[in-house]
Structure 1
């Protein structure tokens, strides 16, 4: 199992290793075969300078490797958003706010990670630059044929799972942090969207986009969140038994494959033995989302608004699977969009009322393990399978984005099993409760 940032930082502070030594380990991992198609461009020399800077060991990130999704501006680098359409754009004149905060905290930025074109898929496939293969942070390479890494933060998830980065900055609009976390056996925390600025990032949905990170542990997730959100997480000494937890039956448990069902039920049993109070609730409101988003949802409308001029000039250069979903936004009228805003506001109120009295809800992050890359690779005959898989991967996670909520995915599988994620989640600004509960859950699962 990979050492996390908090432990490695303590080793650096104690003089047992140095930031430059640890950075070289990360660079070696990034250049290894497990990281094929993970990085679009690297900045290793700049990272080496950051790791060797005076006093860096005293900073929260201690000169350790951090990767950045190819959606966020890094000064001097082109932000291409996983597309050839923006490949000739000028280099970013400055870091976006999220990257700037990571640098000030002592990050050694190692490069831009590959992603789904314009962040529009939960699968992780990119026909332009290749698709990285999922990797298990706990147990290494997955057996058998290469499997999808999850998207849209595909390279981000694999960069953490392989040891190429301690933290991966990414985005989450419908699950793009938590899906790669689940499929690569790492931790992904989607904070309440308003807590971290998204300036300097190519948007998918300005309503739903969230800047957040993948990490190797929940305590690392807290470190990353405190830096990105420029706030302190309130820690709680309360034991697991003091928190009220619920498992929603509607939608979230539908269509689970055998591996996910086994890991999820085993996890609930472990937590109950540790004293957790876990109720089952119906939460029928989640079944209303399909109708609410029937006209295409925020991602279609808002991405089309951003892309429509580019599409007029470069439509043929887009991944057809991405272009078709962006173009769906052209059919939405202003009245449709306003209706969607009102429907979301009312739905959030109903959901928050139904969840009152609970500190977090628990569900599988995604209901299936990672399918093979070949099964969803570009090709007309595989489009139906791609969209089926994409819908399943996004189904559970996207509920939280529509809720304007927060969610943590952490691994709950055993050795010899494909990675499976457990998601703890709640409504907006319950971030600290979700993180505190996540720490307790992680501790119980590690002691199995």
Structure 2
């Protein structure tokens, strides 16, 4: 079992460990020749991490603790600016480009909170896929069935925050900070058996973050538990940490859509979801199965590429003109869909989104949260998706489908492990309309506690 941030913090508080010891252990795991570190990190900050850990220990010994994550090793996704470095975003296309003159707001907040940043984590190039496959830096392997078939075997970690998830599962960090435009935090969390929280987009500053879609991007963390994610969210959002209190399960009303979100669901995910729903019902939660008609409309709204294609093309068009051959061709082909979108097409999406959100929020008004499988299938094999464009794009569309609903809603969401021990990881998704982050974390804490029993 992966130690939580709360447990690690308690160890530090009780002088049973030190930040330097935790950091050295994380760095050892990242550097292990037989580990995933070479595929997890695009840059390891060994020297600065040790210096930060030493400083944290010195401050703690003087009675100064800056935050609940003081002295804990964390990782950051490779799209956050760090002063003096070029932000690569899991690509090689930006090599040689100017360095950042200032660190991203979230990086500054982590440093101010006393977190020890151990490195930049690998990702799908420019965050444009939910699979986590990266031809430039390698693909970190899912902890489940990792040894099947060697390095080229194993299963995808999920994306785009692939390295962030594996940094947590493999003890290279106690939490991984990532981004989520269409599920890029929740998908890896679901596939790798950990917890992922996507806050309401406006909650965390995007300043200094290489964008995919400014209308959809949000910043959050993956970690072992809901409480861990709440601790990280407080730091990332610049708020004082207030531990969530578990929401009563009895009388909790959860809407489980009957359309879209269950399409293509495999047997293991279906069985895991049904078992979780059985526990929730027995605990007094009310699960209402009902169609959400608006969900049927989203594919048509985004038929020409939606926000992601339009905004990605806007950002990338000059770089593609200069260095198209440096891109992952499966990524650049999706970005280039935005080339054919007109201003009117983008305005159609903007106007449709407002109406769509109103419809969904109206239906959600009588419920505490939405319930759905984070991803309807277990993690596919890396080799299968590398070998076939058809398999790659089909899997990507299916895997992104459910989480994308919540990004378009401008909502908040969490993915919780709900599979039986020893079986393929499955994520149970809980979501709510935007601005309900703290309440959703309280609900998630209650559900997490129940599922662990």
TM-score (norm 2): 0.95
* SS in structure 2 of the partner of residue 11 of structure 1: helix
Matched, 1:58 2:60: no
Whether 1:295 aligns to 2:336 is: no
The answer to whether the 8 Å contact 1:270/1:445 transfers is yes
The CA RMSD over aligned residues, in Å, is 1.5
> Which residue number corresponds to residue 363 of structure 1?
372
| Counterpart-to-counterpart distance in 2, 1:64 and 1:104 | 13
What 5-or-longer segments of structure 2 have no aligned partner? Answer: none
Hey, what's the Cα distance between the residues in 1 that align with 2:13 and 2:82?
28
Aligned equivalent of 1:423, options 412, 429, 442: 429
What SS class does the counterpart of residue 43 from structure 2 fall into? strand
Match of 1:244 among 249, 253, 260: 253
**Structure 1 spans left out of the alignment, 5+ residues:** none
Find the aligned partners of 2:246 and 2:19 in 1 and give their Cα distance. Answer: 32
Judge conservation of contact 2:80–2:210 (CA < 8 Å) in 1.
yes
CA distance in 2, matches of 1:9, 1:266: 33
- Cα deviation, 1:19-52, whole Å, max 9, x if unaligned, reads 1111112112212313340000111111111111
Q: How does 1:161-180 map to 2 (within 5 A)?
A: 161-180=169-188
Aligned to 1:211: 219
Q: Is the 8 A contact 2:414 2:430 kept in 1?
A: yes
Aligned length: 441
Give the C-alpha shift of residue 142 in structure 1.
6.6
Shift of 1:242: 4.1
Please give the alpha-carbon distance, in whole angstroms, between the structure 1 residues aligned to 2:100 and 2:45.
14
Q: Per-residue deviation at 1:141? A: 4.8
Structure 1 segments (4+ residues) deviating >4 Å: 140-144
The question of 1:29 aligning with 2:29 is answered: yes
8 Å contact 2:180–2:198 — kept in the other structure? Answer: yes
Residue 339 (1) aligns with residue 339 (2) = no
Equivalent position SS for 2:28: helix
C-alpha distance in 2, partners of 1:143/1:410?
25
Q: Give the CA deviation at 1:366.
A: 0.1
Q: Partners in 1 of 2:320 and 2:23 — Cα distance?
A: 40
After superposition, the C-alpha distances for 1:139-162 in whole angstroms (9 at most, x for unaligned) are: x95756410010110101111111
- Cα contact 1:74–1:96 (8 A) shared by 2: yes
The CA distance in 2 between the partners of 1:22 and 1:142, in whole Å, is 27
Write the deviation string for residues 234-290 of structure 1: whole angstroms up to 9, x where unpaired. Answer: 844541114221211111111111111111111111111222222112112111100
Superposed CA deviations along residues 197-241 of structure 1, whole A, max 9, x for unmatched, are: 111111110110111111111000000111111225584454111
